[in-house]
Amino acid sequence: MKKKVLGGLAIAGAFALALTGCAPSGGSGAGGGDELITVGFAQTGSESGWRAANTESMQEAFSEENGFELIFNAADNKQEAQIAAVRSFINQGVDAIVIAPITVDGWDDVLKEAQDAGIPVILEDRTVSASEDLYASWVGLDFEQEGRTAGEWAVEEAGDAGANLVILEGTTGSSAALDRATGFGEAIDGSSINVLDSQTGDFTRDGGKKVMEGFLQKYGSEINMLFAHNDDMGLGALDAIKAAGLVPGQDIKIVTIDAVKDGMQALADGEFNFIVECNPILGPKVAELVKKVLDGEEVPKSEIVPDGAFTQEDAIELLPTRPY
């Protein structure tokens, strides 16, 4: 896939944001009238700029003005705390529960408890391995395609000369990390890219910096390409690369996923070379689905929000009006 085509996906991403960004009309409620819909939202934590934008989107969509009372919990990336939060929502008798699952496994029991209590569950952002019968719908991104798009760019950039690549993985066991790894691996299979190492940085800047420091100590200037599963790990890696006396974006070509403002700034500055978008503005679509489910309407089992992809030129153009 040509860089021009990949960069052009930014336009599609912008249109998708416009289409999915309309707030739902308030006041319909499960019981009708002006009664607020009580929703418990179990967020992963606050590990990244993407997560902060996602949380803000959810809080704005589930506002009282839109007909909701939101009970928010961020689990600090601890699954046991997230499951405990969901059980608390069940005990409080909320109308609906929204979960951004930290990992794919371990959700069967608590989802069954919500089902037995007659409380519908909507999954947001990440997916689970539990039976689809245990939740009403999932809203999120095509993580596998995000990884594939990043891999296609890496293959084109490496060309016939090849590249020695290291990978900063997301949270172990999360659907985002698993699917991005799958898509990226498929895209670079049979190419001139040599994967030197791949380790988790847990989607955090600090994690990305520490793992990159280890990569550089082990492989040194042999590394000339980096794939980070999110912007924040890539931003952390910049510090390690500079401290090693190397120039990010030149000595080490960098492709990341997310396209939050700090990542886009690094792209505009030439420190990142390519970013695949992961749209965090999921709140309006989730709120719309919650109302439909509570009103007894049929909803799709999954809804994918389209992403874009950005070059340095795209970042320079879009940064002044970037909403997240």
Cα(89)–Cα(112) distance, integer angstroms: 14
Which CA distances in Å does 56 have to 132, 133, 281?
Answer: 27, 29, 8
* Residue 319 within a domain: no
Residues 109 and 156 in one domain: no
Looking at the structure, do residues 100 and 166 belong to the same domain, yes or no? no
Q: Count other Cβ atoms within 10 Å, centred on residue 212.
A: 28
**Model pLDDT, residue 324:** 85
Tell me the pLDDT tens digit for each residue of 163-210. 999 999 999 999 999 999 999 999 999 999 999 999 999 999 999 999
272 and 289 co-located in one domain = no
In the predicted structure, residue 286 carries a pLDDT above the cut 80: yes
| Residue closest to 68 by CA, chosen among 297, 289, 305 | 289
Do 250 and 217 share a domain, yes or no?
yes
Mean pLDDT of 267-286: 97
CATH number, domain containing residue 117: 3.40.50.2300
In a domain, 324, yes or no: no
Q: Is 89 inside any structural domain?
A: yes
Number of structural domains the chain divides into: 2
Are 262 and 294 in a shared domain? Answer: no
Residue 323 banded pLDDT, cuts 50, 70, 90: confident
d(CA 190, CA 322): 36
Based on the domain organization, do 121 and 161 belong to the same domain? Answer: no
The model's pTM? 0.85
In a shared domain, residues 116 and 15? yes
Q: Which two tokens stand for residue 97?
A: 């529960």
Residue 315: inside a domain, yes or no? no
Per-residue pLDDT tens digits for 76-126: 999 999 999 999 999 999 999 999 999 999 999 999 999 999 999 999 999
- Looking at the domain assignment, is residue 317 inside a domain? no
Q: What is the pLDDT of residue 306?
A: 86
SS3 of 101, please? coil
Which of 217, 279, 267, 301 has the alpha carbon at shortest distance from 14? 279
9, 272 contact by CB (below 8 A):
no
Please report the pLDDT score of residue 98 as a whole number: 98
Is 322 within a domain?
A: no
Is 320 a residue whose pLDDT tops 50? yes
Q: Please give the structure tokens belonging to residue 297.
A: 């309407």
* Host domain of residue 108: 3-141+280-307
Q: Which of 31-40, 160-169, 221-230 has the lowest mean pLDDT?
A: 31-40
**Any idea which of 6-20, 160-174, 270-284 has the lowest mean pLDDT?**
6-20
What 8-state DSSP symbol labels residue 26? P
- CA nearest neighbour of 89 among 103, 104, 99: 99
- Specify the pLDDT at position 105: 97
Residue 312 lies in a domain: no
Out of 1-10, 63-72, 233-242, 258-267, which region has the weakest mean confidence (pLDDT)? 1-10
Same domain, residue pair 293 and 229: no
